[in-house]
Amino acid sequence: MYDVAIIGAGVIGCAVARELSRYDLKVVLIEKDTDIANGTTKANSAIVHGGYDAKPGSLKARFNVEGNAMFDEICKELDVPFQRIGSLVLAFDHEDVQAIQELYDRGVINGVPNMEMLDREQILALEPNLNKDIIAALHAPTAGIVGPWELAIAMAENAIENGVELKLEHKVTQIEKLENGYGISTDKGKLKAAYVINCAGLYADEVHNMVADPSFRIIPRRGQYNVFDRSVGDFVKKVIFQCPTKKGKGVLIAPTVHGNLIVGPDAEELDCKESIETTMEGLGFIREQGKKSTEKVPSHAIITAFAGLRATPSTGDFIVEELTEAKGFIDVAGIESPGLTAAPAIGVYVLELLKNSGVILKEKESFNPIRRKAIRFMELTDEEKAELIKRDPRFGRIICRCESITEGEIVDIIGRKAGALTVDGVKRRARPGTGRCQGGFCGPRVMEILARELEMDITEVLKDRRGSYLLTGPTKVDTGIEESFDAVAAAKEL
């Protein structure tokens, strides 16, 4: 019997798991997918928001501002890339000026520190590539950028090192109320827990409905992006927002923590919770909309596109509460933007809810908040590089030419707690495949390393999710036509 079961290993479930790992509790983190951070956490703007956007008094406002303040410490402890670069919300006319003044006033009520209004000259001095018809901007210096999946993976790794159990590829299918807790059925068997935390993202309504009457719906709202090559990564220095509309915060332009540039998202309500494909219309819209901030968007340097799904709650605010009709069951639902920013604060708040519900939180003496630093070969001095290669020659073999990632780094992130199991898992942890060639060169080499380290056949290596096989059989068969047909047929089946 577990003390606490957390359903969903996105950034929210991982934040809750890490907070709980400070205490003497038996905790399990249950995830239906092949990896941590495979849901909304892997596809968003990666902004640590200032906190002026959410309605005062809402949970979004509270957790945004509290969460933002926690990022320096948490990212230092866990070796997660984070830069507090600040954000600008641009105003182009009188109406926009009123709108950014309202954001400023809201920010003051929400407790956002050090905001200021800038005029045209001040803005263009900071950001010379923006359009010259800008008349004012709201500057929030506490806003930042972070590696979103890196944050979730790091929190999970640290939680596991401190005793939390991770069960990947365990989809929760049913939950039964027991006298002293809950019986949780998964597609890989059953387990019991005294308390359950529902961090199931887009599926949090369905998991809620397993123990209580429906009280909210999660509506998937897609947002699409373009990612630009690192050669234009310094096109803007800060996160550049347009004035928010009813549909969201508008199209932003921002650098990423790895030196790329990102433009997006749009906002499109859908019925399907799995529609993460990009569309011509969506990408066309963000390209046009981006021009409002700068006519000079360097479209020639686009290297990829992606889409993510916001888990928009029908209630309008985050839902973080223990259910009255299911004691010991806590919903952490409807965590749309600014959920990434809010995650560390939500983790702490869930502890409070558990304490109020009767959980005794005894601190573990052995808790270690520090995660072993990742080896970033290219950031080492020549002497350090030579020393490392002498110790382990795999650091002398470059696998990803675009990002200069070595075999040694890839082997390291496969071997860690909550290590990579798929090609995308390697990409998210060590970054081969994120450069200009998007894995064209390094993909097969990463597969070979995965197969060797995880002791599996290379045809079993997955791109990402269950069933996403990359190889179906040999392409250059010399035994006649039949085998070639087999390979083609297998490919078609997938």
Ligand X SMILES: Cc1cc2nc3c(=O)[nH]c(=O)nc-3n(C[C@H](O)[C@H](O)[C@H](O)COP(=O)(O)OP(=O)(O)OC[C@H]3O[C@@H](n4cnc5c(N)ncnc54)[C@H](O)[C@@H]3O)c2cc1C
Question: Given candidates 309, 399, 414, 450, which one binds ligand X under the rule CB under 6 A?
Answer: 309
Instruction: Compare residues 254 and 399 and give the one whose CB is closer to ligand X.
Output: 254
Catalytic pick among 49, 139, 170, 208: 49
Contacts of 221 (CB under 8 A, 6+ apart): 267, 268, 269, 270, 309, 310, 312, 336
Q: Hey, how many other C-beta atoms are within 10 angstroms of the C-beta on 84?
A: 15
Rule CB under 6 A: is residue 11 a binding residue for ligand X?
yes
Rule CB under 6 A: is residue 199 a binding residue for ligand X?
yes
The closest alpha carbon to 173, from 203, 197, 193, 146, belongs to 203
Window 223 to 242, contacts with ligand X (CB under 6 A): 223
Phi, psi dihedrals of residue 159, rounded to the nearest 5°: -65, -40
Instruction: Compare residues 10 and 443 and give the one whose CB is closer to ligand X.
Output: 10
CA–CA distance, 472 with 486 (Å, rounded to integer): 9
Instruction: Compare residues 60 and 431 and give the one whose CB is closer to ligand X.
Output: 60
Question: Given candidates 26, 106, 120, 171, which one binds ligand X under the rule CB under 6 A?
Answer: 171
Rule CB under 6 A: is residue 7 a binding residue for ligand X?
yes
Rule CB under 6 A: is residue 62 a binding residue for ligand X?
no
Taking residues 332 to 371 in sequence order and writing x for each that binds ligand X by CB under 6 A, - otherwise, the string is ---xxxxxxx------------------------------
Task: Find out whether 376 and 79 touch, Cβ atoms under 8 Å.
Answer: no
Helical (H) or strand (E) element with 306: strand 302-313
Inter-CA distances, 220 with 203, 210, 454, Å? 10, 20, 35
- Could you confirm whether 208 is annotated as catalytic? no
Number of residues that bind ligand X (CB under 6 A): 40
Least distance to ligand X from the beta carbon of 445, Å? 28
What is residue 479's DSSP assignment? S
Residue nearest to ligand X (CB): 339
Taking residues 26 to 55 in sequence order and writing x for each that binds ligand X by CB under 6 A, - otherwise, the string is ----xxxx----xxxx--xxxx-x------
Rule CB under 6 A: is residue 431 a binding residue for ligand X?
no
Rule CB under 6 A: is residue 330 a binding residue for ligand X?
no
Instruction: Compare residues 69 and 97 and give the one whose CB is closer to ligand X.
Output: 69
Q: Hey, how many other C-beta atoms are within 10 angstroms of the C-beta on 251?
A: 24
Question: Given candidates 310, 427, 429, 431, which one binds ligand X under the rule CB under 6 A?
Answer: 310
Q: What is the crossing angle of helices 339-356 and 11-20, to 10°?
A: 40
Least distance to ligand X from the beta carbon of 220, Å? 9
The closest alpha carbon to 410, from 375, 436, 462, belongs to 375
Q: Is the N-terminal amide bond of 214 cis, ω within 30° of 0?
A: no
- Which neighbouring-strand residues pair with 305? 226
Least distance to ligand X from the beta carbon of 68, Å? 9
Catalytic residues: 49
- The residues of the shown chain that bind ligand X, judged by CB under 6 A, are 7-13, 30-33, 38-41, 44-47, 49, 171-172, 199-203, 207, 223, 265, 308-310, 335-341
